Structure 1
Amino acid sequence: MQITAHPLYKEKEMLISQLVDYFFSSGDMIVEGSRNTIKSNDLDGEVVNIKFFQKPGLFKSIIYSFFRSTKAKRSYDYANYLLEHDIPTPLPVAYIENYNSLGLLQDSFYICQQIDYDFTIRELIHNPLFPERNNILEQFAAFTYKMHESKVNFLDHSPGNTLIVKKGEGDYDFYLIDLNRMKFERMSIEKRMDNFKKMWLSKTMVKVIAKAYSKLSGHPEAQLHQILLDKTKAFKGKITRKKYLKRKAGLMK
C-alpha cells in the first residue's frame, strides 16, 4: 500500500489507511457501481468520502503501473490544481494505491472532504420551474467560464458532477467532483461550447447559458447559441441512437 496525504492530513495517515482497510465492512454507501464504489465515513470526527477504483484488467494495470497516473492520483492532483486556481472542489485528503509483488496496480482509493450540497444541475433539467433556475444557470455559466480561463477542460462535465450549494438569497457555489478525466489546455470557443454538451441542456437552458457566456467572453451571443445548440443536439442524438441500438440488440438475442 502506498499512501499520499494532503499536508493538512499528514498526521492522520494511519487513520486514513484504516478507513481503507475496513472500506467494505464500514461506512455509508453513496454509490455502488459496477466499476467504482463511493462511501462516506468518519475520519477523526470529520466526514469524508472514499472512492474505490476497482482492479483494472491486465493491460490497463500495466499502463497505470508504469506509463500513466492512476485514477486516484489524477483525482488528487487535479483537485489540487483546481483549488490552486480558485475553482471549488472538495478538499483532497489522500489517495492510496495497492500494488502486487510484480509492481502491478491492484486497486486504488481517493479520499476527499464531504460537501453537504443542496442540489445538482440535474434537478434544473428535470424541473423547468426550479426556483431561480435562470439565475443559477447564469452563475453556472460564469463558473464554467472561469474553469475554461484556467485551461481546464473537464471531460466529465455532466449534470451530476457539479454540486451546488446555496450560500444566500440568489447566491450559489459550485463544486466539481469525479475529477479523474481532465485536460489542461487552451480552448477555442467551439471547444468551450462542446464542453457543455453532456449537460443535456434544453433549448431554454442553452439560450440562458449562451447569453451569460457571451457577456463574459465577448463572443457574439448568436454565435455561441448556435454552436451550443448544435453540440447539444448532436450529443443527444448520439446517445439516443446508442440506446436504440442497444435495445435492438437485446431484443434480437
Structure 2
Amino acid sequence: MNDRVIYRAIDGVAQRRLCELIEVAEAFRSGVSLPTGWQCTPIYEGRNMLYRLQYGSEPAYVLKCFGRVSLPRRIYYSYLGVSKAKRSYLHALQLDFLSGATARPLGYAEQRDTWGLLGRSYYASAWVDATEYDIHAHARGLTAPMGFVESLGRFIANLHIAGIVHRDLSPGNVLYRRDERGEYQFYLVDVNRMAFRSRPLSLAEAAKNLSRLASNRSFLVALATVYARERGWEQLTTTSALLEAYERFWLARLPKMAARYARRVYGIGLVDFARRYLGYLSRRTIATLLAKGSRRRGILEADAERFYLEYLSYEDISHTLRRRYGYSYRLLRPHQSQSTQSGLS
C-alpha cells in the first residue's frame, strides 16, 4: 500500500522548502546522513517531534512532526475533521494576519495511504529567537524581568479584545523575546487549537482562558491587574473571577496528575490510587461534618493531610488545595523524604 504526501504552502518556493525540511527531518530520525549543508537540531522528541532546521547561513525553520494517532482518530481526521497540521497552518495564517503573534507559517503536509487515511503530518514555520524562551519560570512565580507582566497582560488583553482565543494558553505555548529597543514581543505556538470570534471575550470567557497560564497566585494577581486596566474592567471583580477560574482548573487537574505521580514514584496502579483517593475525599468530607476540636475530626484531618503530603502535594503546584484545607507546606518532594505509611492506604 503506497503512501502519498499532500503539500500546502504559502507559495511554490515555500512548498519546495517544506519538502526539503521534511526530507531532512526524516533523515535525522532515521539516523542517516543529512543532505549537504543542512543542520537539524531536535527541540522536543515525544509522540510529536519538533526540530530546528537550517541550510547553511540561511534563515532557520521549525518543523513539527505530528505522530500517528489511534485508528478511530485517524478516521475522524481523514474524513470528518481537519488534521492538527492543517489546523496549525490555517490558524497561523489568520493569527499572523490579525496580530502577528506567531511565527510566520510556511506550510503543512499530510501523509495518506491509498484509502486516504491520515498517517504522519507536518507543520513548518519560520524560526524566531523566542522559540527558546517560554514563560514557564515566570508563571511559576520566579522573578520576572522588569516590565514583563505589564507587557504580557497587554498582549493577552489585545488578543481577547480582537476575539482571538488560544484554547491551550499554557506557559509553554507563549514564547517571548526582547527587541533592539528592549520591548517584549510575544508569540503563540501550538496553534492547532484556536478560536477566532467576532466579538471580544466576556469576563467569564477570559477567566477560563487565562486559568492555566499561571501556577503562581501572585503572578496571576499581577497579570489580572494589568488585564483589567487594558479591558477597562473593575480590578477587584476581574481579579476575583480569574482567581476562581484558576482554582477550579488546578483542582480539577490535580487527581489526574497525582495518579500519574503515584504510578511513576510508588508503582501504584490507577485503580489502587482511585480507591485511596476516594478514601481521602470521604474522610475529608466527614471531618467537616464533625464538631471542631473533636478527637474524631482531628484523626480524620490528620489522615487526610498525610495522604495529601504523600500523594498530592508534589502536583499541587499552585498550592490551591494546601491553602484551602490548611495543609502543611512540604519543602521536599514526598519521595525525597522518608516515606510515611498513610492511614488511607
TM over 0.5: yes
Map of 1:3 onto structure 2: 7
Greater alpha carbon shift after TM alignment, 195-204 vs 222-231: 195-204
* Deviates further, 39-48 or 222-231: 39-48
Q: How far 1:215 moved relative to its partner?
A: 1.1
Aligned mates of 1:247, 1:127 — CA distance in 2? 22
What do residues 45-99 of structure 1 show as CA deviations (whole Å, max 9, x unaligned)? Answer: 2210110011222211111112111101110111111111124210001100111
Written as runs of structure 1 = structure 2, the 5 A alignment for 1:192-207 is: 192-207=206-221
2:20 to 18, 21, 32: 18
Give the whole-Å Cα distance in 2 for the aligned partners of 1:111 and 1:239. 31
- Superposed CA RMSD in Å reads 1.9
What secondary structure is seen at the aligned counterpart in 2 of 1:222? helix
Report if aligned partners of 2:103, 2:127 keep a CA contact under 8 Å in 1. yes
Structure 1 residue 184: deviation in Å?
2.3
Query: Are residue 236 (structure 1) and residue 216 (structure 2) matched?
Result: no
Deviation (angstroms), 1:246: 3.2
Residue identity in the other structure for 1:212: V
**Other-structure match for 2:154:** 142
Q: Can you give the 5+ residue segments of structure 2 that lack an aligned partner in the other structure?
A: 29-39, 273-345
CA shift at 1:174, angstroms?
A: 0.4
Please give the secondary structure, in 2, of the residue aligned with 1:81. Answer: helix
The match for 1:227 is 241
Say if 1:248 and 1:40 are closer, same or farther in 2 by CA, change over 3 A: closer
Task: Say if 2:167 is the partner of 1:160.
Answer: no
Tell me by how many angstroms 1:43 deviates.
4.9
How far 1:152 moved relative to its partner?
1.5
Tell me the distance in 1 between the aligned counterparts of 2:180 and 2:22: 36
Counterpart Cα distance in 2 of 1:180 and 1:204: 30
Q: TM-score, normalised by structure 2?
A: 0.67
Q: Higher relative contact order by CA 8 Å / sep ≥ 6: 1 or 2?
A: 1
Q: Note if contact 1:87-1:147 (Cα within 8 Å) is conserved in structure 2.
A: no
**Distance of aligned partners of 1:119 and 1:13 in 2 relative to their CA distance in 1, 3 Å threshold:** closer
Q: Aligned to 1:111, what secondary structure does the other structure show?
A: strand
Q: TM-score, normalised by structure 1?
A: 0.90
Identify which of 191, 195, 215 aligns with 1:183. 195
Distance 1:86 1:29 in 2: 28
Report SS of the residue matched to 1:180. Answer: coil
Secondary structure class of the residue paired with 1:131: coil
Structural mapping, 1:47-126, within 5 Å: 47-117=60-130, 119-126=133-140
- Structure 1, 46-55 or 24-33: larger mean CA deviation: 24-33
Deviations 1:136-176, CA, capped at 9 Å, x for gaps: 11211111111112212211100111111112565211011
**Partner of 1:145: helix, strand, or coil?**
helix
Say whether residues 1:217 and 2:219 are aligned partners: no
CA distance in 2, matches of 1:103, 1:94: 20
Other-structure match for 1:251:
268
Quickly say closer, same or farther: Cα 1:99–1:199, change in 2 above 3 A. same
1:11 aligned partner, one-letter code:
V
For the pair shown, the structure with the greater C-alpha radius of gyration is 2
SS in 1 for 2:26: coil
- Maintained 8 Å contact 1:92/1:112: yes
Cα distance in structure 2, aligned partners of 1:184 and 1:12: 26
Identity of aligned residues (%): 25
Separation of aligned partners in 2, 1:201 and 1:168: 30
Equivalent position SS for 2:186: strand
What residue identity is the alignment partner of 1:128? L
Distance (whole Å) between structure 1 residues aligned to residue 141 and residue 222 of structure 2:
15
Partner secondary structure for residue 219 of structure 2: helix
CA deviation map 1:20-65 (0-9, x unaligned) = 12323231111001x2001111257221011001122221111111
CA contact (8 A) 1:97 1:107 kept: yes
Q: CA deviation at 1:105?
A: 0.8
Per-residue Cα deviation, 1:105-148 (whole angstroms, up to 9, x for no partner) = 1110000001112632112134533331xx21121111111111
Tell me which stretches of 4 or more aligned residues in structure 1 moved more than 6 Å. Answer: none
More strand by share: 1
